[in-house]
């Protein structure tokens, strides 16, 4: 049997010490050429401005609708109070005492006495 010819003795690798500074990695993993970078930055700025404008428009619509809802609630409350007042007035006008007093004054009617009523 022949010895392994291609086997080498183990030698740990040594880091080459150089006096040059190590290059630090950027936090951006990719590089964009100058013109494309400017275009991307401009597009991002325009998108940001459009996004802010849209949120302001939607916020304005929400505020307008809240004001309209508040006005409708106030109107509904006023109508409900008017309804209660009208129901009370109707109950007063339709009461038996009110009808009897109006019949006496306007129509000159009166309630019959006990002896005037005959039942058949």
In a domain, 6, yes or no: no
Backbone angles phi, psi at 16, to 5 degrees: -75, 125
In a domain, 89, yes or no: yes
Q: What is the extent of the structural domain holding 84?
A: 37-108
Contact call for residues 104 and 110 (beta carbons, < 8 A): yes
In a domain, 85, yes or no: yes
Residue linked to tokens 């009166």: 110
In a domain, 21, yes or no: no
Backbone angles phi, psi at 68, to 5 degrees: -65, -40
Give the C-alpha separation, 102 to 90, whole Å. Answer: 15
Give me the percent of the chain exceeding a pLDDT of 70: 81
In a domain, 15, yes or no: no
Tally of domains within the chain: 1
In a domain, 83, yes or no: yes
What are the distances in angstroms from CA 67 to CA 11, 31, 56, 70? 82, 51, 16, 5
Predicted confidence (pLDDT) per residue in 28-84, tens digit: 566 777 888 899 999 999 999 999 999 999 999 999 999 999 999 999 999 999 999
Q: What is the pTM of this model?
A: 0.50
In a domain, 93, yes or no: yes
Does residue 92 surpass a pLDDT of 60?
yes
Does residue 1 surpass a pLDDT of 60?
no
């Amino acid at each position: 049997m022949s010895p392994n010819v291609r086997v080498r003795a183990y030698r740990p690798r040594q880091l080459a010490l150089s006096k040059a500074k190590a290059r630090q990695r950027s936090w951006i993993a990719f590089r964009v050429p100058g013109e494309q970078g400017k275009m991307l930055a401009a597009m991002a700025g325009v998108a940001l401005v459009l996004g802010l404008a849209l949120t302001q428009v939607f916020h304005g619509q929400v505020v307008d609708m809240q004001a309209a809802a508040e006005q409708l609630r106030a109107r509904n409350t006023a109508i409900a109070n008017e309804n209660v007042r009208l129901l009370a007035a109707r109950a007063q006008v339709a009461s038996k005492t009110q009808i009897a007093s109006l019949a006496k004054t306007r129509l000159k009617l009166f309630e019959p006495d006990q002896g005037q009523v005959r039942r058949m």
